Structure 1
Amino acid sequence: MKKLTSALVLLLIIVIVGGLGLRHLAQSRMESAIADLRAAIGPGASFTYATAAPRILARGARLTSVTYRNPGLTLTASEAIVGRVTGNAVDGQHVGTLVLRNVQIMEPGATASAASLVLKGLVLPNTGPELFRAAPPPRLDSLVLDSALLTELHVAVPAGQTDLTVARAMIRDYGLGRTSHLDVETLGVQIRLAPTRRIGVGHLRIDGPDFAGQIASLLQSGHLIHTVGRRRFDISALTIDTTSPLLRVGHLEAEQEASVGQDELETTITDLTAWPTPPADQSLLRMIGYDQFAGRIHAVSTIQRQAGTMTLHPLEIDAPAMGHMSIMADLDQIPVDDPANLPETARIVSATIDWQDHSLADHVLDGLARARQVPPDAYRQQIQAALAGAPDPSMQALGHFLAQPDQRLRVMLRPPRPISVLMLGVALSMAGDPSTAGLLGLSISTP
């Protein structure tokens, strides 16, 4: 019994002494790492904290009341927990886990706050001290992350009177050349510049892009680069409001398959409702007797990058209260690397539009009658008689359709020269003029 007691006492002494030794070693390593960090950030920046305690088994530290400042940015956190730190500022700093709580970021023109930020598998670039001397540090495209979880984010840009909030956001597999994933819950944007806009997203998910590579492209060239691979975009509960509702989208899903020379894109929008923009009474929608558009959109398109062409096969718009439209079309002058400019540059080479009417034809005729202050029935009879007596078979077919709008209407465009998408609406409004119809290569039938 005495031998057992002596052995236990000896073991206890070894544990205590060993623990003290490990703690002393961990404390020494932590202080050395903090000293290296302070030396690396240079004289123009500072790093302070209230307390610091080593995390022996996790090879890290826990710091409280952390503040980092440089000429362009101030970051504070009530607590910072660092674990599994390896490497160095020259060969690349590897951080297994970094947790920041109650984060505040302030820079000229903007502020941000978050309840927590959890980074896992963080690799800082091997740029040495220059990593910390830049403002702001470091460039986002130079980091590597296995995952990052952000909660209760709020960003304010006073000059733009803009606020952004995010309940929860996670990004996985971030870094140059990596297939990344972004998942955002409850995103809101408010722009208080007149007219006030409010944008909300219930859930956003993006799979496939190399986010770091795209950021690098924006920083270097000002536009996104084209990359090959499959991507998927999924948005639920999208809302856009001003003083009144403007847009509601129940679900938007898009899948893209990109190769070196070709992009295949399929997009589906369901539970879509759109209201006229103010002043609503002057909108075309109200003029033809509708308070809103409600329906579904499905589009399949192929872009040939080298030729700058697009094929729609098809674009379908289904509005139960109005009708169903199917469009097959070929377009050219597609800005393959700048899709925002597509409406301004794209031209229609050919198109076939099929329309199955539910109520739109009657609404359009009634709207035109009101604009001319003519009784709707009299105006309808006048239009039908004029079209029936027209020498052009297309105008005769349009007259037959207006008399019996339950039949399918087909409009074909085969212009001798491609026509601008922006000019199409104007040209169709003058389609009764033979010269305009010839420029459009227009033919109308009721197949």
Structure 2
Amino acid sequence: MKKLLSALLLLIIILIVGGLGLRHFAQRRMESAIADLRTAIGPNASFTYATATPRMLALGARFTSVSYRDPTVTVTASDAVVGRVTGTALGGQRFGHILLHDVQVMQPGVTATIALLELDGLVLPNGGPARPDGSEAPPRLDSVLLDKGGMRGLHVAAPASQLDLTIDRAAIAQYGLGRMSHLDLNALSLQINLAPRRHVAIGRLRVDGPDFAGQIASLVQSGHMVHAVGHRHFDVSGLAVDAAAPLLRIGHLLIDHEATANQDEVETTVTDLSAWPMPPRDQSVLHMIGYDHFAGMIHALTTVERQSGQMSLHPLVIDAPGMGRVTILADLDQIPVDDPMSLMDTARIVSATIDWQDRSLAGHVLDGLARSRGMEPDAYRRQVIGNLDASPDPSMQALGRFLAAPDRRLRIALRPPRPLNLLMLGVALSMAGDPATAGMLGLSASTP
């Protein structure tokens, strides 16, 4: 019994002495890491805290009242837990785990707060290019690696830009050059207070597949996103855009994008779509023909050949139960594959086939035209149909048959002798009754 008590006492002494030694080692390690960090951020920045306690078995520390300041940004947190730190701040450092509470980021004109920020597998490489004053810049966002991260309670205010953004929850995984990243946002709200005021809300946004870091690097270096091979999936639900009154509602938006070196295949589905005209609404075409707003769905299959700059819609379907259903098959060229914002300026229609199944739109259009001419709608309808029936043009006759019985399908074909710029299509269609314009469009109509 005495030997057992002696052994237990010896074990306790070893644990106490070993624990004190381990704590002393952890303290020295923590102080060395903090000294490296302060050296790395340079003389123009500061890192301060109220208390720092080493985490002996986690190769890290717990801080309170943390603050980082440099000439461009100030970052504070009420407390921080940093664990499993390897490497050095000078040569590249990996943080196995970081947990921050009550974070505040302040830059000139912008303030951001985060209730909780949690990061796992964060790698901060060497600093970025040298600044003009010779000091080393912090690592660029596109050069950072992150296994996964999450935050709650984000609020960004930019008074100068009149922007206010909140996100309830957000999570990101596999961030870094060459990694296929994942993003998941819940309850996003963006308030734009510049006139005209706008409010954008998203219930949930999920993005799978893109190399976020690579896209950021492309934006920084070239001003646009680089083409990347692989699969991307975008899933948005509960999208709403409002001004003084509703402008847009989307129940669900799905985009699947399969990209190879030479081709892009994109499938887009929009359901529970409602869109209202921009104010003043009583002057909108939609209102003039008797509709308050558009309600329906959209489904599109698109193929883009990158080398030739050609696009095929096969098909684009817009289905509005209160108006009608249109199905479009089209081939276009001069597609700006790396600059989609300029598509309307450069793209041309090579050919198109449009099938229209009417539910009420034809009658609304005729009634609106009658009102604009001060005529009784039925009399105007008989006049229009009579004139079309008397036309020698088979396409005009087909249009007359359709208006006389709009439950039948109307097919419009565009086969322009030369590709037609998209911006000119609306103007040309408004003049389609002119035989010369119809010939320029290669336009024909039928009721199959």
TM-score relative to the length of structure 1? 0.98
CA apart distance, 1:421: 1.4
Q: Deviations over 1:82-127 (max 9, x none)?
A: 0000112344211100111100000112110100111100111134
Matched, 1:86 2:90: no
Q: Does 1:302 align with 2:303?
A: yes
1:435 is matched with which residue?
436
| Partner Cα separation in structure 1 for residue 290 and residue 75 of structure 2 | 55
Contact preservation (8 Å) 1:321, 1:359: yes
Distance 2:42 2:169 in 1: 34
Name the residue aligned to 1:49. Answer: 49
Give the Cα–Cα distance (whole angstroms) in 1 for the partners of residues 88 and 361 of structure 2.
Answer: 68
Answering whether residue 383 of structure 2 is matched by residue 397 of structure 1, we say no
Deviations 1:173-230, CA, capped at 9 Å, x for gaps = 0100001101111111000111110000000000000000000011111110001011
Other structure's SS at 1:160 match:
coil
Contact 1:267 1:300 in 2 (8 A): yes
Residue aligned with 1:159, SS: coil
List gaps (5 residues or longer) in structure 1: none
Kindly tell me: are residues 162 and 129 of structure 1, through their superposed partners in 2, closer, same or farther at Cα, counting changes over 3 Å?
closer
* Paired letter, 2:149: A
Question: Following the alignment from structure 1 to structure 2, what is the Cα–Cα distance between the partners of residues 133 and 343?
Answer: 45
> For 1:311-343, what per-residue CA distance to the aligned partner results, in whole angstroms no more than 9, with x for missing partners?
000000000110110000001111111112212
Decide whether aligned partners of structure 1 residues 149 and 280 sit closer, same or farther in structure 2, where only a CA change above 3 A counts.
Answer: same
Find the aligned partners of 2:219 and 2:66 in 1 and give their Cα distance: 32
Does structure 2 retain, via aligned residues, the 8 Å contact 1:274–1:293?
yes
Counterpart Cα distance in 2 of 1:247 and 1:128: 42
Shift of 1:128: 8.6
Give the whole-Å Cα distance in 2 for the aligned partners of 1:152 and 1:54: 28
SS at match of 2:160: helix
Written as runs of structure 1 = structure 2, the 5 A alignment for 1:5-20 is: 5-20=5-20
* Structure 2 equivalent of residue 259 of structure 1: 260
In structure 1, the partner of 2:289 is 288
1:314 maps to 2:295: no
Please give the root-mean-square deviation of Cα atoms over the aligned residues, in Å.
1.4
Q: Are residues 1:193 and 2:198 paired?
A: no
1:121 aligns with 2:113: no
Supply the AA of the counterpart residue of 1:155.
V
Query: 2:311 corresponds to which letter in structure 1?
Result: M
Which residues of 2 match residues 338-377 of structure 1 at below 5 A?
338-377=339-378
Deviations 1:15-43 (A, max 9, x none): 11110000000001101111111111111
Q: Assess if the C-alpha contact under 8 Å between 1:327 and 1:354 holds in 2.
A: yes
Deviation at 1:157, TM superposition (A): 1.1
The match for 1:22 is: 22
For 1:47, the aligned partner's letter is F
Provide the rounded CA distance (Å) in 2 between the counterparts of 1:123 and 1:129. 18
Whole-angstrom CA distance in 1 between matches of 2:103 and 2:315: 48
Are the counterparts in 2 of residues 101 and 115 from structure 1 also a CA contact under 8 Å? yes
Task: Say which SS state the counterpart of residue 44 (structure 1) adopts.
Answer: coil
Distance 2:45 2:130 in 1: 12
**How far is the alpha carbon of 1:254 from its aligned partner?**
0.5
2:127, 2:136 within 8 Å by CA — same for their partners in 1? Answer: no
How many residue pairs match? The answer is 446
* Displacement of 1:138: 2.6
Q: CA deviation at 1:391?
A: 1.1
Instruction: Quote the residue 1:224 is aligned against.
Output: 225
What is the 5 A alignment of 1:96-245? 96-127=96-127, 137-245=138-246
Kept in 2, the 8 Å contact 1:89–1:129? The answer is no
The one-letter code of the counterpart of 1:287 is M
Aligned residues with identical type, % of pairs: 67
Q: One-letter code of the match for 2:63?
A: L
Residues 31-78 of structure 1: CA distance to partner in whole angstroms, max 9, x if unpaired? 111111111111110000000000001110000000001111100001
Distance 2:324 2:129 in 1: 64
Q: Distance in 2 between matches of 1:40 and 1:53?
A: 21
**2:371 match: secondary structure:** helix
1:41–1:133 Cα contact (<8 Å) kept: no
**Partners of 1:367 and 1:56 in 2: CA distance:** 79
Judging changes above 3 Å, is the alpha-carbon distance between structure 1 residues 197 and 134 closer, same or farther for their aligned structure 2 residues?
farther
Number of the residue aligned with 1:95: 95
The gaps in structure 2 that reach 5 residues or longer are none
Counterparts of 1:20 and 1:128 in 2: how far apart (Å)? Answer: 40
Q: State the partner residue of 2:63.
A: 63
- Please give the alpha-carbon distance, in whole angstroms, between the structure 1 residues aligned to 2:295 and 2:177: 41
- CA deviations over 1:283-318 (Å, ceiling 9, x no partner): 111011001111010000100111111000000000
